[in-house]
Structure 1
Amino acid sequence: MHPRATSAGEIDTLLFGSLDASAATFLTLGAKAAWGARDQDGFVALASLGGGHRDERGSTAARQRYTASAALVVGYQWFFDWGVVAAYAGPEGVREMVLDGRGLSALEPHLGLRLQGEIWARPTTATLVQASAVAGSAHDSVWARLAWGCRLWDTYLGPEVAAYADGTGYRKWNLGLHGTDFALGRYSFRVSAGL
């Protein structure tokens, strides 16, 4: 578990990052802050910045799309004997550029509302079920992931499935394996690989 905050006014912060390196590449960096300790019921905020690139094909010639995004969501987390549930809402923004045979075109920036939820459940002392969903109106997008793991060598190992869709018509799904709570010193990691 995470160390508890020592005073009522203290803000407990967790830094995170993710890299999806496949045909579509996307990097996200962010922070989760809680008023009080992150390992108890209370208000939390997530701030994230991301950017990526993907190749697109369709009725027109092939092109590349570059995307930058930012979000700041605030919510509440509930702790139970079996795990934690969290729900968030807040603003998001997306800016894109498209590179095709005619050159580089900057698209209009879009602002919208992001809704986000997650569940981290431990049905038994040796298993983990994790589910996340993010829906945003700035890009008319939905992303979801479901993972199950069995504790082995102080890490939860198991299968996961993820899906993404947005208003451009782009669709993506992944099936793979993950390792969650993989620790190196005082840092904890989550890694996954798949198709």
Structure 2
Amino acid sequence: MAGRPLRRWLAALALTAAASPAAAEDAGLRSVLFSSLEAGASVFSTSGAKVAFDRFDRDGPVVLVSAGNGMRLEGGGRLPVLVRTTLLGSALGGYQFVRPWGVVTVLAGPELSVEMLTGAGGGTLLPLRSGVRLHGEVWARPTESTLVTATVILGSARSNAWARLSWGLALFGAYLGPEASASLDHTGYRKWSFGLHATDYAFGGYRFRLSAGCQFEGRVNASMRPSPYLGLAIWNAL
């Protein structure tokens, strides 16, 4: 399916967390507020806004501002157990390309990160890190009833990388299907997960993405620990 209605729908879908076809019906759509949380053995949340200089249903420049925080356990065995708390912030600018089949967005900009290690002996605040973040995403509809998304984020502040891939079939008011993600950072920590998601579910004027599955995490050259995870994202177009 091609044409302007699909272009509007897919343009609104080009978000960090997810997006809304209902909101895309508004020809003046220019901004989206979003928030997400993923909880398992580790926890990470992100909130922010994506703003188009013109409109989401057209090619043009966009800005993405976000802030996030996470917590995870480190050590164990013969090592003391520590809690690593991470704060992240970024302000990215880029361009979105709207096509009949979907939307491609590329962004880049500065990021800041600060981490703290806490344990039984107290806490240590690590030095502030600054760097550059690169962000690329694709939201596509290969057919009228399917949705495919791919997102890759690279950051130099923590030498980290994160990627997510999902596919969904339109069922029961959302897109249902499998998802997979992987990440690593400067500490040697790595995580990958696979599960199921329900994207673009509408309730009370908001849109949601729900996901659940199994994740494996640990350091490079160490065993990966399995654990379940739950994810929730919510967004609203303005």
What is the distance in 2 between the residues matched to 1:14 and 1:38? Answer: 10
Q: Which amino acid aligns with 1:17?
A: S
Which structure's relative contact order is higher, taking Cα pairs within 8 Å and 6+ residues apart? 2
Q: Which whole-Å deviations, capped at 9, do the CAs of 1:13-43 have from their partners, x for residues lacking one?
A: 1001110111110110000000111122110
5+ long unaligned stretches in structure 2? 1-8, 10-23, 215-238
2:71 to 44, 47, 53: 53
After the TM superposition, list the runs of 4 or more consecutive aligned residues in structure 1 that deviate by more than 6 angstroms: none
Taking structure 2 as the reference length, the TM-score comes to: 0.77
Task: Tell me which residue corresponds to 2:224.
Answer: none
1:145 counterpart letter in structure 2: R
The unaligned stretches of length 5 or more in structure 1 are 6-10
**Given residue 13 of structure 1, which amino acid in structure 2 is its aligned partner?**
S
How far off is 1:102 after superposition?
2.8
Of 165, 180, 183, 2:184 maps to: 165
Aligned match for 2:174, one of 144, 148, 155? 155
**3-state SS, counterpart of residue 4 of structure 1:** coil
**Letter aligned with residue 159 of structure 2:** D
1:101 positional shift: 3.7
State TM-score, norm by structure 1.
0.93
1:20-78, Cα deviation, whole Å (9 max, x unpaired): 11111011000000011112211001000111110012673221101111001101001
* Distance in 2 separating the partners of 1:41 and 1:145: 24
- Partner residue in 2 for 1:40: 58
Counterparts of 2:204 and 2:42 in 1: how far apart (Å)?
Answer: 31
Percent identity over the alignment is 47
Higher share in strand: 1
CA distance in 2, matches of 1:13, 1:146: 24
Between Structure 1 and Structure 2, the one with more helix by share is 2
Which has the higher mean CA deviation after the structures are superposed, 14-23 or 50-59?
50-59
Question: How far does the alpha carbon of each residue in 1:82-102 deviate from its partner, in whole angstroms, 9 at most, with x for none?
Answer: 110000000000011001343
Aligned to 1:107: 126
Give the SS at the match of 1:57: strand
Partners of 1:116 and 1:177 lie apart in 2 by 23
Cα root mean square deviation, aligned: 1.3
How many residue pairs end up in the alignment?
190
